[in-house]
Amino acid sequence: MTKCVQVAVAILQKSNGEYLLASRPQGKGWAGWWEFPGGKIEQGESPEQALIREAQEELGITPTQIQPWIKRRYDYPATHDAEAKTVLLHFFFVTAWQGELHPHEGQQFAWQHPQQGNVSPVLPANAPIMHALSLPPVYAISNVAEMGTTAFLAALQRQLDNGLQLLQIRESQLSDDALARLSETILHMCAPYHCRCLLNGTPEQAKQLGYQGVHLNSHRLMVHSQKPDHLLVGASCHDQTQLAHAQSLQLDFALLSPVLPTPSHPEASGLGWERFTEWVNELEIPVYALGGMQASYLLLALACGARGIAMQRGGWI
Ligand SMILES: Nc1nc2c([nH]c(=O)n2[C@H]2C[C@H](O)[C@@H](COP(=O)(O)OP(=O)(O)OP(=O)(O)O)O2)c(=O)[nH]1
Ligand SMILES: [Mg+2]
């Protein structure tokens, strides 16, 4: 039987979103491959304690702001001068630290833009993590139906100024003409902010209207047998069958809802965070929590393994 090694991993992230990778030093297994700083959790240590010790040993810094994120299990074969083993990686965001970064083990450092990494190869266990990092922590969903166009566009402008990076347009009440007009206005507003927009609709409609992506509702998700081309693709899921299908199509992300009861579905009691965590930790694709979310739930959602939160009403306050 292979042993399971517990590892604490630090995603050092600057306020502009760039994160740090380091090359594995010579003399270790997988030497030269890129990884996040970190290392094995020693007996009697908590993952947080190991994270701080490893940051001090490998980088010469002391993390002062730590946020737990995804846990990921991976089976390494016996290759690249390393024995076969299973690792359980505990990822943490580190967004503030004391001291100057210094490569204490002779590593090379590379700050990576979340959407355009430029070093390789990265340790294979990390591929889904890098993908998740290419998505922002907040996914907003439009609400023209309740707010009206003028109030919605004013709220959108405020959120773009606050850093909104991902938006779903979900306005099935509009005629084709009205949707085309609204889409043009919104895409024009979002472009200078590099905020990516997905249409809740069909891939054909999304492409025709100039969206960067499509968001499939759970019914559309289940009739697709392949990921639509040339678009960022997300899907709404409410159970494990739908999540498994979204993963088998290798979609960019899923929404899982309702986590908490919401005014729009008062009859549904909500999955709760415990079941959310259980389902999400079995998946490789990033998942946003939806249903009763507001900005103050973000850290909890991250600690439950979500990429972030999706909000409809809560996104425009
Ligand atoms: N640090 C780090 N390890 C990772 C990442 N992804 C990944 O699969 N791993 C694996 C590789 C290793 O098998 C294990 C970490 O072990 P390590 O050899 O770096 O441990 P360590 O820093 O404590 O060093 P040592 O005990 O060998 O001296 O976790 C990652 O992003 N960062
Ligand atoms: Mg290490």
The atom of ligand 1 lying closest to the CA of 35 is 31
Residue 166: CB atoms within 10 A of its CB come to 24
Domains of the chain with CATH codes:
4-125 (3.90.79.10), 138-316 (3.20.20.70)
Q: What is the pLDDT of residue 13?
A: 97
Given the DSSP bridges, would you call strands 308-311 and 138-141 parallel, antiparallel or unpaired? parallel
Which residues crowd ion ligand 2, with CB under 5 Å?
39
ipTM above 0.90, yes or no: yes
Q: What is the pLDDT of residue 268?
A: 73
Measured in Å, residue 195 CA sits from the centre of ligand 2 at 35
Q: What is the pLDDT of residue 317?
A: 85
Measured in Å, residue 5 CA sits from the centre of ligand 1 at 9
Given the DSSP bridges, would you call strands 34-35 and 19-23 parallel, antiparallel or unpaired? antiparallel
Neighbouring residues of 72: CB distance < 8 A, sequence distance ≥ 6: 88, 89, 91, 125, 128, 129
* pLDDT tens-place string over residues 192-231: 999 999 999 999 999 999 999 999 999 999 999 999 998 9
Asked if residue 301 lies in contact with residue 289, where contact means CB atoms within 8 angstroms, the answer is yes
Pocket of ligand 1 (CB under 6 A): 5, 7, 9, 28, 35-36, 38-40, 74, 87, 89, 123, 125-126
Measured in Å, residue 40 CA sits from the centre of ligand 1 at 6
Measured in Å, residue 226 CA sits from the centre of ligand 1 at 35
This prediction's pTM:
0.94
**227-232, Cβ contacts within 8 angstroms, sequence gap of 24 or more:** 227/251, 228/203, 229/203, 231/203, 231/206, 231/207, 232/196, 232/198
Buried (b) or exposed (e) across 89-101, using 16+ Cβ within 10 A?
A: bbbbbbeebeeeb
Whether 244 shows a pLDDT value over 70: the answer reads: yes
The atom of ligand 1 lying closest to the CA of 37 is 1
More confidently predicted of 82 and 167? 167
Q: Does 261 sit behind a cis peptide bond, omega within 30 degrees of 0 on the bond before it?
A: no
Q: What is the pLDDT of residue 65?
A: 97
For the four alpha carbons of 260, 305, 103 and 17, in that order, the dihedral sign comes to negative
- Mean pLDDT score of the chain: 95
Over residues 171-184, the mean pLDDT reads 97
Measured in Å, residue 244 CA sits from the centre of ligand 2 at 33
Give me 163's structure tokens.
Answer: 């850093």
Rounded distance between C-alpha atoms, residue 312 and residue 145, angstroms = 11
Asked if residue 169 lies in contact with residue 200, where contact means CB atoms within 8 angstroms, the answer is yes
Residue from 123, 126, 129 whose mutation best tests the ligand 1 pocket (most atoms within 8 A of CB): 123
Helix ranges restricted to H, the chain:
47-59, 127-133, 144-147, 149-161, 176-190, 203-208, 218-223, 240-248, 273-280, 298-303
For the four alpha carbons of 149, 155, 160 and 161, in that order, the dihedral sign comes to positive
Residue from 28, 40, 91 whose mutation best tests the ligand 1 pocket (most atoms within 8 A of CB): 40
* pLDDT tens-place string over residues 257-294: 999 988 777 777 899 999 999 999 889 999 999 999 99
What burial class does residue 301 get, using C-beta atoms within 10 Å of its C-beta: 0-12 exposed, 13-18 middle, 19+ buried? buried
Q: What is the pLDDT of residue 2?
A: 66
More confidently predicted of 66 and 265? 66
* pLDDT tens-place string over residues 109-144: 999 999 999 999 999 999 999 999 999 999 999 999
